[in-house]
Amino acid sequence: MSVSVAEYLGQRTDIVSPVITPTTSGNCPFMNAPCSKIAGRHKPVCIVRLTNGQIWIVCKNRLSATNKNISLLPHQTDVLLNIARSIVSPNIQPSDVLVKREVPVPVVGRSTYKADYVMLIQNQVTQFTSHTMALIEMQGGGETSNTGDLTEHIKKWETTQPYSNQLLAKIVDGVNPIETNAWRRQQEQFIVKGNIVQQTGGVMVLCLGAPLYDYLFKKVQSNNLPSLRQANWTLALIGFSEVKQNNPGPIQIEIDKNRMIFTNYMTFVQALINQGGPVPKMFKREFTSLTGNRIIIP
């Protein structure tokens, strides 16, 4: 597979103007703070585009940054409001939604986890039910393989004048999204936090970029998960996709109505575990003893 730079410090690359110029400093437009990638001495790439046209988010702050020391921006409030409307009602108003960020989730004998967001949604009688108490995790995407090749491409663009968005967005071969790593990092926390929020009486909401959502869906689609959208669901998987447009500025990303699952948390976890079947030949045929003898097990 190959990728191309789709968004550089909040600026889309698939338009001719305005022309993007290299930078070694600047604020992240999605959290109103210095770009964490630049601070880490990386190129400020927010999103790459896959050869199938989908976007893969490569910055942890791009979907909705969770830094509790910075005031929420309109970008973040829009994302959170749309999540609230998706899980409760399209009539939810901004004043109905209460959030806390980076909330400690203690586990006895282990390091304390942090929830990206904890959300309370006020209903008409200002009481809270299970569906209006949500722990929300944001996992837009993750890393890519052969990142060095992508960095070298950007360095070449930085030294080629006049600057060109077309050159910046040129396809770089051999760079791939690593969905397995992204999910592996999320999986343990998903299981632990989900179990805790279940015991606390709330629901788990996992927000994913479209490619990561598709990767996870393939793992569980054969298990016939119950669709509980209108019933007592305890887990929501919500996919985010690009909205096709060519306005200057950031790529527009929103909840994809075709990538949403409302189901039972424990059933989903069981579906993750219940993959594959027995393989009897694994324990048959040729073995080698520790003394070096070749043994055939029929």
pTM of the model: 0.91
Closest CA to 190 of 224, 221, 219, 150: 219
Give dist(CA 195, CA 129) in Å, integer.
Answer: 18
pLDDT for res 124:
55
Other beta carbons within 10 Å of 124: 8
- Averaged pLDDT, 98-125: 86
Provide the residue type at 298 as one letter.
P
**pLDDT confidence bin for 125, thresholds 50/70/90:** very low
**pLDDT confidence bin for 128, thresholds 50/70/90:** low
Of 84-88, 125-129, 265-269, the poorest mean pLDDT is in 125-129
Give dist(CA 290, CA 181) in Å, integer.
Answer: 35
**Alpha carbon separation from 184 to 84, 163, 197 (Å, rounded):** 27, 38, 20
Closest CA to 205 of 55, 85, 95, 57: 85
**pLDDT higher at 35 or 189:** 35
- Averaged pLDDT, 144-173: 96
What pairs with residue 238 in β-bridges?
207, 260
pLDDT for res 38:
96
**pLDDT confidence bin for 127, thresholds 50/70/90:** low
With 0-12 / 13-18 / 19 or more C-beta atoms within 10 angstroms meaning exposed / middle / buried, residue 78 is middle
Give dist(CA 55, CA 242) in Å, integer.
Answer: 7
- Averaged pLDDT, 285-296: 94
- List the domain boundaries for the chain: 1-58+143-176, 63-141+178-298
pLDDT for res 107:
86
- Condensed to tens digits (0 to 9), the pLDDT of residues 211-264 reads 999 999 998 988 889 999 988 999 999 999 999 998 999 999 999 999 999 999
Q: What angle separates helix 179-200 from helix 210-220, to the nearest 10 degrees?
A: 70
pLDDT at 126 over 50: no
pLDDT for res 246:
87
Average pLDDT of the chain is 92
- Condensed to tens digits (0 to 9), the pLDDT of residues 14-47 reads 999 999 999 999 999 999 899 999 999 999 999 9
